[in-house]
Amino acid sequence: MKDTLTEGRGTAADTAKIAVRGLQVHYGDTHAVRDVDVDIPDRAVTALIGPSGCGKSTFLRCLNRMNDTIPAARVTGEIRIDGEDIHDARVDPVQLRAKVGMVFQKPNPFPKSIRDNVAYGPKIHGLTRKRSELDEVVEKSLRRAALWDEVKNRLDAPGTGLSGGQQQRLCIARAIATSPEILLMDEPCSSLDPIATAQIEELIDELRSRFAVVIVTHSMQQAARVSQRTAFFHLGRMVEYGDTGKLFTNPADPRTESYITGRIG
């Protein structure tokens, strides 16, 4: 699945979709993320790997300011998306999150119909008013999430009635529907069976033609399969960041090597 077209892209700060400098996150007394500098490219999949509690999910939640919703979390440092600092006082996190969509570890469809799940984002952001336009967005999003054919005849059935893999694709469709530019995925396959996982991975590979995808994963194989670039986190620090192929075959840092060979983690 390695795509040479995107290789080498986004390595320099000026072409980065997301540029992070000196990021620190504290949860109460815990220093969860330390001194992270990274440039994340557009239209590519960037994987964040590392042992549990290494700060990779916390880092991910900084990118759309989801940590704002946790009272004890304190974030410092700079995150620029398209060159704009997302911590700027003028930035509205609500608008930011429409631009930076998120898919969570456990599929979390709302207890509504499939249609209403997908239409939720466009409705709250006031993107569309007319029913016909909304239906169009719903169809387009479900198609892009590779779910349309399975649900087109039961759009009014509850989203919670779908299988786990379908639910997760519904959540992806829901995130796509607000037409974001970046998709954050927090271990999206951790609660799915291997077949559903394969479907999602295939979907992620397609999504990178439109979005910058950042995916946190616990599985090194998954990172190797879907991503073009990989960052390895350990004890709150980003230890190594580079092309996925290089990081897995020829890691620069001994800690990365220990992790990918299974000695830590």
Partner 1 sequence: MTATSTLLTLLVIAASGFVLARARALACAGGDSRALHSLPGHYGWASVLLTLGPALALFALLKIAAPPTPAGTLAVLALALAALAWSLRRTRPNFRARQTVERGVLALLMLAACVAIATTAGIVLSMLFETRNFFAQYDWREFFLSTTWAPRFQGDSDLGILPLLWGTLYISLIALVFAVPVGLFAAIYMAEYAGGRFRAIVKPAIEVLAGIPTIVYGLFALITVGPLLRDYFAQPLGLGTSGASVMTAGLVMGVMLIPFVSSLSDDIIAQVPQSLRDGSLGLGATRSETIRQVVLPAALPGIVGAVLLAASRAIGETMIVVLGAGAAAKLGLNPFEAMTTITVKIVSQLTGESDFAAPETLVAFALGLTLFAITLSLNVLALAIVRKYREQYE
Partner 2 sequence: MSDQAARPTSLLERSSYTARRHAAETRFRACGLGAILIGLAALTMLLASVLGPGLGAFRQTHIHLPIHLDAAALDKSGTRDPEVLKKVTTLGYGKVIDKALAEAVAQAGIAIEGLSDAEISGIISREAPAQLRRKVLANPGLIGETIPLSILADGRIDGYLKGRVTAATAALDSNVSPAQLQLADAMGERGLISLDLNAAFLTAPDASDQRPEAAGLGVAILGSAYMMLIVLALALPIGVAASIYLEEFAPKNRLTDLIEVNIANLAAVPSIVFGILGLAIFINVAGLPQSAPVVGGLVLTLMTLPTIIIATRASLKAVPPSIREAALGLGASRMQAVFHHVLPLAAPGILTGAILGLAQALGETAPLLLIGMVAFVREYPGAPPEGLFDPASALPVQIYNWTQRADPAFVERASGAIIVLLAFLLVMNAAAILLRRRFERRW
Binding residues for partner 1 (CB under 8 A): 64, 66, 69, 71, 93-98, 101-102, 104, 106, 108-112, 120-121, 124-125, 171, 174-175, 178
- Applying CB under 8 A, the span of 25-33, 82-90, 105-113, 196-204 interacting with partner 2 comes to 82-90
Q: Cα(112)–Cα(171) distance, rounded to whole angstroms?
A: 12
Residue 168: CB minimum distance to partner 1, A: 12
Q: Where are the alpha helices (DSSP H) in 125-242?
A: 131-144, 148-151, 164-176, 194-207, 220-226
Q: Binding of partner 2 at residue 133 (CB under 8 A)?
A: yes
Query: Treating both helix axes as pointing N-terminal to C-terminal, what angle do 194-207 and 164-176 enclose, rounded to 10 degrees?
Result: 20
Q: Cα(183)–Cα(169) distance, rounded to whole angstroms?
A: 13
Residue 126: CB minimum distance to partner 2, A: 5
The partner in contact with residue 206, picked from partner 1, partner 2, none with C-beta cut-offs of 5 to 8 angstroms by kind, is none
Task: Identify the residue among 76, 95, 249, 250 touching partner 2 (CB under 8 A).
Answer: 95
Q: Which is nearer to partner 2, 74 or 123 (CB)?
A: 123
Q: Which of residues 146-175 bind partner 2 (CB under 8 A)?
A: none
The pair of three-digit structure tokens given for residue 202, joined into one six-digit string = 């295939």
Q: Which of residues 176-195 bind partner 2 (CB under 8 A)?
A: 179
Q: In what order do the strands lie in the sheet with 73-81?
A: 84-85, 73-81, 16-27, 30-41, 237-243, 229-234, 45-49, 212-216, 182-186, 100-103
247 phi, psi to nearest 5 deg: -60, -35
Q: Which is nearer to partner 1, 50 or 107 (CB)?
A: 107
Report which DSSP code applies to 248.
H
Q: Which is nearer to partner 1, 84 or 253 (CB)?
A: 84
